[in-house]
Amino acid sequence: MTNKFKLDPVIESNVKPEFKKDEYEPLGKPVYVKKETALDAMAGDGGYQEAYLADVIRFKMKRDKKRFWAGDNISEYILDDRMKNQLIDEATDAFELVLDRLLIDRETDPNSKGTARRLAKMYFNEIMAGRYEQAPDCTAFPNDSQDRYEGMLVVRSELRSMCSHHHQPVSGVAYIGLIAAEHLIGLSKYTRIAQWCARRGTLQEELANDIAREIQKATGAKDLGVYIQATHGCCENRGIMAHSSLTQTTVLKGAFKDDMGTKKEFFDNIKMQQEFAPR
């Protein structure tokens, strides 16, 4: 990087910018954009080209009033692998800059040489994959025959997630319980849905809600419960350094919330699962 620090005429001017600095300052090289033309340009009238695909997508999402928080899925804006690969390339450049700013020698330290690209790929393809990939395909099977299953189903799903605040790992299990509705989905699909929700920047409280909502969408079940217990890297590796801390969150809907018998059966099932295989 040869850029010298200089005041940004857009950001430092007396005219109050409409966007916050961190949202609007492109990574790597300065691009000056008049706020009233950028969105129009993105709408397709040409004449203006953004430097980064990530910026183009960001403008589109803003124009559509699409929320793109760390826990949101934005797969409808990433149309194919070619686009994703370009985003990975752009993120690689940005991570290189971060490593430079951290004064880590990525030129001669053999372990840091490919780190920027490894980080970029890891974010897009692994730890935040649930933001960029479409929902898992869940074929629903009818559950409407005479001898339909009417009992409670409890599935335990291993979870790996990441806190939005520090990008530290969150690891634990979700217990998903429901009373079977008109259709059933394959057992592995519960875990696929849970992991798809988890592979983002999350808050555990929101994650429980997200899983409950997506399971409801896939199954049509109105009676359902999601219980998550997880350890948080941001409590274990930093901050209070509390190594055995465990956080529990519960979301209950329909009979799981209103009927004490159903609620008790759910938690009894969880206990039985934990006795069968401690977790």
70-78, 79-87, 88-96, 232-240 -> range binding Zn ion (CB under 5 A): 232-240
203 binds Zn ion (CB under 5 A): no
91 binds Zn ion (CB under 5 A): no
CB nearer to Zn ion: pick between 136 and 233: 233
63 binds Zn ion (CB under 5 A): no
- Token pair belonging to 97: 């800059």
* Neighbouring residues of 195: CB distance < 8 A, sequence distance ≥ 6: 130, 157, 158, 159, 160
Of 21, 63, 118, 165, the one binding Zn ion (CB under 5 A) is 165
163 binds Zn ion (CB under 5 A): yes
Of 234, 257, 259, 273, the one binding Zn ion (CB under 5 A) is 234
CB nearer to Zn ion: pick between 92 and 202: 202
Please report how close the Cβ of residue 231 comes to Zn ion at its closest, in angstroms.
Answer: 12
46-54, 144-152, 161-169, 268-276 -> range binding Zn ion (CB under 5 A): 161-169
170 binds Zn ion (CB under 5 A): no
Residues that bind Zn ion (CB under 5 A): 163, 165-166, 234
